[in-house]
Chains A and B, each alone.
Chain A
Amino acid sequence: MAKITYVEHNGTEHTVDVANGLTVMEGAIKNSIPGIDADCGGACACATCMVYVPKDWQGKMPAKEDMEETMLDFAEASNEDSRLACQLPVTDELDGLRITMPESQH
């Protein structure tokens, strides 16, 4: 279980508990957090679940696979801190994580 804070592009914060085994994307969908659509439900096919992860948290996450890397390379508003939330499994280690979401997904 991890307490994760999702910050909308306008600064609105949502802090929720997300169970281990779900992804950061699923935590947002199940809690109806605006800004993450996840059309494909986590198949790494749509890039509608992009989030920005602070640098000091990035090491606690699995490295990007090729598919995610490429999708991000082409996603609107992506930068070096971008990840696809569907590729981030929730573990106890992510307790306290705070991520922000781009305006383009609003």
Chain B
Amino acid sequence: MGKDIIIVGGGQAAAQAAQSLRAEGFENPIRIFGDEPHAPYQRPPLSKKFLAKEIGFDRVELKPESFYADNNITTHWGTRITEIDRKGKRVMTADGQAFEYGKLLMATGSRVREINVPGFEMDGIYYLRNIADVEAIQSHFKDGARLVVVGGGYIGLEVAAVAKKHGMDVTVLEAAERVMSRVVDPIVSHFYERVHREEGVKIETGVSVAGFEGDTHVTAVDSGEGKLYPADFVVVGIGIIPNTELAVECGLDVQNGIVVDENCRTSDPDIFAAGDCTSHPNGIYGHRLRLESVHNAIEQGKTAAAAMMGNDKPYNQVPWFWSDQYDLKLQIVGLSAGYTKAVVRGDPESGRSFAVFYLKGDTVIAVDAVNRAPEFMMSKQLVHKKTKLDPARIADESIKVKEIAQG
């Protein structure tokens, strides 16, 4: 039986795990299989600075190719694993090769949720998940081009902001009654709708997509209510789905993500999983979470590497996220699901700086901070410690952020 470690997936969790395995003292060969033609790179900038052409691939690529060679890490970019044979402890590639492992890390990530309405296969309709997607979208960047964004979540709104800055005519269609409804309070949704409108983006909420018009290339998006939204191109951002098929097929426990323990172990002691594809028991929230974030990918990459070396460093992290749109930096600490009260600090009705604290009972469970670094930095600790807060002190801006929890 081989003593190699095989990593299935070539994203940030994979790169972090490989680095951490070497740092933890693992000396045998490591192989990484990634189905994209690129070495691991950062995904968050793809809908931000990279889409805006402010930075190139050299700035999003995580490690130079020499890193892998220097560390005895054999890379198989552009190679998809199609089967995990747990009994034989080996993986099969799409072209029929087999590679044995001692331990296996699944860092298979997630993929975009596709829209399945008439006309979906036409040219000019894109998703945004990888470098190739961005390059295709950028080929349509022309002053005055009409872009319809389907989905008012992070990806859709970030794309809208970049496209608007590049002089395009941008419309965002959101099926729910407000943008970002899955993750933030209506106060934050309405703030973002206002800013996008101020910047000249048309935001249409409560609008579903019934189909796409056009011959071979999309020309309009049909809401199904007699309204057509003309489009030179379309970007669809309606969520992601964890890549769990390989895990299901080899019989691992999968429930909304590959089930792992706090050390990223799956139901097979020789198989670990990290990143978007996992469901982990979160100690801070007291239930399982499947997270879609780079922070989680990095931290689980470290956790999995440590556990694979028998040096457990259990995962104990407050999730955090950020989104850049125009001059707004949204920083989110924690998950607000289940909150009983949203307390605002600052004025979201005018200006572009405020924070919303989400309380469950008296305990702060999440904070959305828009251009509010102090609130963001402070709340990382407050949420981690499950701090009880007085709503009146949160709302009172004459009280310093550092002193909110006192009194």
A interface, CB within 8 angstroms of B: 22, 26, 29-32, 34, 37, 39-47, 67, 70-71, 73-75
Bound Cα distance from A40 to B377, whole angstroms: 14
Cβ contact of B378, chosen from A30, A46, A74, cutoff 8 A:
A74
Q: Could you say which of B45, B64, B71, B329 contacts A30, with CB atoms under 8 Å apart?
A: B64
Q: Which one of B48, B67, B329, B373 contacts A74 once the chains associate, using CB atoms below 8 Å? A: B373
Check B377–A70 contact: CB distance below 8 A: yes
B: residues with CB less than 8 A from A are: 19, 22-23, 42, 44-45, 48-49, 59-60, 62-64, 67, 71, 294-295, 298, 320, 322, 324, 329, 331, 373-374, 377-378, 401-402
Can you report 28 residue pairs joining A to B where beta carbons are below 8 Å apart? A22-B59, A30-B62, A31-B67, A32-B22, A32-B71, A34-B23, A39-B294, A39-B295, A40-B44, A40-B294, A41-B42, A41-B44, A41-B45, A41-B60, A43-B49, A43-B322, A43-B324, A45-B324, A45-B331, A46-B322, A70-B373, A71-B373, A71-B377, A73-B377, A74-B374, A74-B378, A74-B401, A75-B377
B62 touches A29 (CB 8 A): yes
Q: Which single member of A22, A34, A45, A75 contacts B329 (CB below 8 Å)?
A: A45
Contacts of B59 in A (CB 8 A): 22, 26, 42
Overall SS of chain B's interface: helix
How many Å lie between the Cα of A74 and that of B376 in the bound state?
A: 9
A55 to B328, CA, bound (A): 32
B298 touches A47 (CB 8 A): no
CB-based nearest A residue for B48 = A43
Shortest CB-to-CB span from A21 to chain B, Å, is 8
Contacts of B324 in A (CB 8 A): 43, 45
With a cutoff of 8 Å between Cβ atoms, the chain A residues found around residue B71 in the complex are 32
- Measured CA separation A73–B378 after assembly (Å): 10
Contact A45 B377 (CB under 8 A): no
- B322 to chain A minimum Cβ distance, whole angstroms, is 4
- Given the interface pairs A29-B62, A30-B63, A43-B44, the reply to whether A37 lies near B298 with Cβ below 8 Å is yes
Question: Closest B-chain residue to A76, C-beta based?
Answer: B381
Q: Inside 8 A of B322's CB, which chain A residues have their CB?
A: 40, 43, 45-46
CA distance A29 to B39 in the complex (A): 14
Residues of A within 8 A of B294 (CB): 39-41
Q: How far is the CB of B59 from the nearest CB of chain A, in Å?
A: 7
